[in-house]
Amino acid sequence: MKNLTPNTYNLKPISKGFTLIEIIIVVAISALLTGVLVTYSQRSRQQIVLNVEKAKVAELINRAKVLTLAGFTDPPTIPPPCAYGFGIDTVGRNYGIFTYDDPNVACEDASTITSIDESFFTYLDPLDPFHRDINIIEDPDPAQVIKYILYIPPELNVLIFDGNGDIKGGGEINFETKDGSFSSSIRISSNGQLSF
């Protein structure tokens, strides 16, 4: 009987590389996963931008309401404005909060306003532009568009004006991404309540 030692059979490790087919499959799978990730990332970014823009608009509408109440309940040394409002300009692609003082209407009669005149606006801050990737969907009929929301103290009367400057009983501000893949809206009731 022969004595078997490790050197008896002269074993060498087998070195085998990847075949071309295996490399092509790995590269194809990697490219596919990268494509899915990039697409998902871009779509997520668009949805986030849409929601951020919508939240900014809702925050400014609520801020106009709060300023109206604060100006009436805790008046500063100078008389507060008759009303605060929120305006949105879909053509100019901007929006902001304004004070409204109509010299033809006494502040206590401001709730009787039937039309709005932009020459009596004083915007509090520079107007905020819409994000470049967001559109406000504008109905071809100006009567269907919310252009201004006016909050009048002390009962916090709400007047909502359409694109023609007429009073309407609530409506929606509709947002969408530039490519139309996502859309969302803020609904505003006739008493100024927001819902999403």
What does the pLDDT average to over 95-115? 83
Coil, helix or strand at residue 147: strand
Q: Between 140 and 72, name the one with better pLDDT.
A: 140
Q: Which two tokens stand for residue 39?
A: 């697409």
Q: What is the CATH number of domain 20-195?
A: 3.55.40.10
Coil, helix or strand at residue 196: coil
Angle (CA) 36 39 42, round 5°: 150
How, if at all, do strands 121-123 and 83-89 pair? unpaired
Asked whether the beta carbons of 165 and 116 are under 8 A apart, the reply is yes
pLDDT digits (tens, 9 = 90+) for 38-57: 776 777 888 888 888 999 99
Residue 124 pLDDT more than 60?
Answer: yes
